[in-house]
Copies of this chain bind each other. A is one copy, B any other.
Amino acid sequence: MYLWVDLVTPSIPERLILSDTFHFHPLAVDDAMSEIQYPKIEAYDGFLYVILHGIDFEESRNCFATHDVDFFLGTTYLVTVHDGTSRSMAELRDHCPRNTKLLGEGPVALFHRIVDSMVDHYRPEIDQLEERIDRLEAEVFADPTPNVVREILKAKRDVAGLRRIVQPQRDVVGRLARRDFVDISTEMSFRFRDVYDHLVRIADDSLIFQDRITGILDAHLSNVSNRLNEVMKVLTIVSVIFLPLMLLTGAYGMNVTLPHMPGGDAAQFWWIAGLAAAIVVGMLLYFRRRRWL
């Protein structure tokens, strides 16, 4: 027999349950009420206080959001406090009435089940982030918009934010798996080790993502330079071909007596045209030799 109390954005009177009924330490109660908390685990006299984070993808803002769930884990009770956005908690509450076995293994097993479900919800978000990075990589090489650097920077921040949540979460679960706390049985530590493995992989993924984003930014800079090179080659080739030709026509536009080439007046034009063609061919050969064409 044990008690599961699930408080969803508790009102002031409901908060009294924590402080007056359960007599939890005021600091733990304060933490459970406050907004921004990092994942952590703290042993108090008679109970463990755990903060873990679930993950959501906010479609509207196209970025990650996390919500924290607070656990008070005693030998005969589990108290959970959250803001109602956790899908894991919602699913569990739905399934409970139909599936009595779900609750039958004691508070630690119930706690493990919630944690496991929360960590399972990370995977699709991780996959979506990976897709975004794949898309950015493809875009950088294919047809980068001016916006791509901003997108890269945004992905970088999301990955940093993910690491910021996952790493302490991994350490919390790792401590449960290593049985740093006496309330955890061997059997339960095996289960937490399983969750821990998941979190290690996610933390590892986020490191890989970070590396890839750095690589994408490097590639983007390299591509920008390459494209500048291409632009400058076009400008240089055109200038180098046309400037001599323009000098030639300019020279024949001078109001001075130019040397007369063999042939009549009409032949003069063809001499010039021939010289121009020779210049063009010579330049093209020069560029070919330099591998610019």
A103 within 8 A of B: no
A247 located at the interface, meaning its Cβ lies under 8 Å from any Cβ of chain B in the complex? yes
Q: List 25 A-B contacts (CB under 8 A).
A: A30-B194, A37-B197, A42-B193, A146-B226, A149-B223, A160-B211, A164-B204, A217-B218, A217-B222, A220-B222, A221-B225, A224-B225, A224-B226, A225-B228, A231-B236, A236-B238, A242-B246, A243-B243, A246-B247, A249-B254, A252-B255, A252-B256, A253-B254, A253-B255, A254-B255
For the complex, is A232 an interface residue (Cβ under 8 Å from B)?
yes
List the B side residues contacting A222 at CB < 8 Å.
149, 217, 220-221, 224
Q: Flag if A228 contacts B229 (CB, 8 Å).
A: yes
* Nearest CB in chain B: distance from A152 CB, A: 8
Closest to A218 in B: B217
> Which 4 A-B pairs have CB atoms at the shortest separation, nearest pair first?
A249-B250, A252-B254, A242-B243, A235-B236
With beta carbons under 8 angstroms apart, the residue of B160, B234, B240 that contacts A208 is B160
CB-CB < 8 A to A228: which residues of B? Answer: 225, 228-229, 232
Least CB distance, A272 to chain B, in whole angstroms? 7
Is the interface on chain A under 10, 10 to 19, 20 to 34, or 35 or more residues?
A: 35 or more
**In the complex, chain A residues 259-278 whose Cβ is within 8 Å of any chain B Cβ:** 259, 265-266, 268-269, 272
A40 CB contacts on chain B under 8 angstroms: 197
Which residues from B are CB-within-8-Å of A27?
A: 190-191, 193-194
Does A132 reach chain B (CB closer than 8 Å)?
no
For residue A170, CB closer than 8 A to chain B, the reply is no
What is the oligomeric copy number?
5
Cα–Cα, bound, A286→B130 (Å): 36
Residues of B within 8 A of A157 (CB): 212, 215
A60 to B280 CA separation, bound complex (whole angstroms): 45
CB distance from A150 to the nearest CB of B (A): 6
A243 lies within 8 A of B240 (CB): no
